[in-house]
Structure 1
Amino acid sequence: MQKIETLESGNYYHIYNRGINSENLFKENRNHEYFLMLYTKHIDPIAETLAWCLLKNHFHLLVRIKTFEEILKSHKDYEIKKIIPAHQSFGNLFNAYTKAINKGYNRHGALFERPFKRKLISNESYLRSVIKYIHYNPVNHGFCEHPIEYPWSSYSACISEKSTKLKREKVISLFENIENLKSSHNEKENFTSLEEFLNL
């Protein structure tokens, strides 16, 4: 039986999943927008986001789970009783999204495979590889020729100066500077070994 990684505070995780039976999770643009709205509601309070990408039938997220002290700092005193385990916050996100899709498209039952996949990221080299892998996912699946062309990922936010909740400074620092980040994303890469590790 597959061991399920516990989401522990202070650690980085690559979180990913697909639609059950490869069903499309995102049928139109408003679905992406609604998922991101729910993500802000359920995940922003308990995790920092370094990268994300939403494809038609799957998604990828790179997050750092906040410590209890960090979560407390962002909560008002009367909200403290609402703090729940990180895996439950992700579960609430997926459940809320499933309910909306079921209602909007006259379907029923599970939408995502269970349990959702997660991999601990243990070093900066692995962090860089996963960031690039996530941003290159639309290229690898033939949706575009460069990550900048795909609207439903964090790459544009990484190289923009616009306000963002993404941990842009952390991402840039992992590549040393924004020029290295861009040049790295201009080079195609073989992600076979990473995909084998992730069981994709």
Structure 2
Amino acid sequence: MINTESFEFDSVYHIFSHVNGKELIFREETNYQFFLKQLDKYILPIADIYSYCLLPNHFHVLLRFKNIEGVNVENEHQSLMKNFGNFLNSYAKAFNKRYNRKGALFLNAVKRKKISDEKYLLKVVHYIHNNPVNHGFVNNIDQWKHSSYNSYLNPEKESKLNRKEIMQYFDSLDVFKNYHHSNVEYDFLNLD
């Protein structure tokens, strides 16, 4: 069961949300690009992003919130949630305007799961990057262009992702690829 525990500074979270109803949140290529642009604008100032995957009706992001100077610890959840709310609202407003629709685009609550250990962290990275394969959109992980996986395969190419943090767990890029192509049990993720 996904908890709705408070966001905390310097903590890692698997964050995800689903479209409200049976619509799509990404209808065309420009939607994916705009979503990432808004992610950069609202979330990069407060978090290091480790991985993401955008699918037509939902998204996943793995991140670590930064320690933000000047914010009272008692208000940390509210402060971090405000940025996340602004991010999703900015995307939804632009989406609604573009497609002449009204109402909520995302489900009410942003689902989140705090990552407590290295083993869990690596399984979440695997899960996020393999999501397009698991949902039948592609046969091979590297075929989906709306995830952070291919960014990891091109370490010389500049990225806003914090790849270094994740790659410290792998001896080489080949070990990283082999891990992503291995079978990993997701039962414990409890993503309901």
Which of residues 120, 131, 136 is equivalent to 1:137? 131
Q: Distance in 1 between matches of 2:150 and 2:69?
A: 31
More helix by share: 1
- Per-residue deviation at 1:121? 0.2
Q: Distance in 2 between matches of 1:138 and 1:3?
A: 24
- Per-residue deviation at 1:175? 2.7
The yes-or-no answer on 1:178 pairing with 2:178 is: no
Which of residues 101, 108, 119 is equivalent to 2:102? 108
After TM superposition, list the pairs within 5 Å mapping 1:8-157 onto structure 2: 8-69=8-69, 85-157=79-151
What whole-Å deviation, never above 9, does each CA across 1:158-180 have from its counterpart, x for those lacking one?
A: 12120111111111112343221
- 4+ residue runs of structure 1 moved beyond 3 angstroms? none
**Residue of structure 2 equivalent to 1:198:** 191
CA RMSD across the alignment: 1.8
- Per-residue deviation at 1:52? 0.1
What whole-Å deviation, never above 9, does each CA across 1:29-62 have from its counterpart, x for those lacking one?
A: 0000000011110000000000000000000000
Q: Distance in 2 between matches of 1:166 and 1:96?
A: 21
* TM score, norm. by length of structure 2: 0.91
Unaligned runs of 5+ in 2: 72-77
* TM score, norm. by length of structure 1: 0.87
- Per-residue deviation at 1:3? 5.2
Amino acid at match of 1:100: A
Q: Is 1:128–1:175's contact at 8 Å kept on the other side of the alignment?
A: no
Q: Distance in 2 between matches of 1:145 and 1:136?
A: 10
Between 1 and 2, higher relative CO (CA 8 Å, sep ≥ 6) is seen in 2
Q: Distance in 1 between matches of 2:149 and 2:17?
A: 20
Residue 4 of structure 2 aligns to a residue whose secondary structure is: coil
What is the percentage of aligned positions where both structures have the same residue? 40
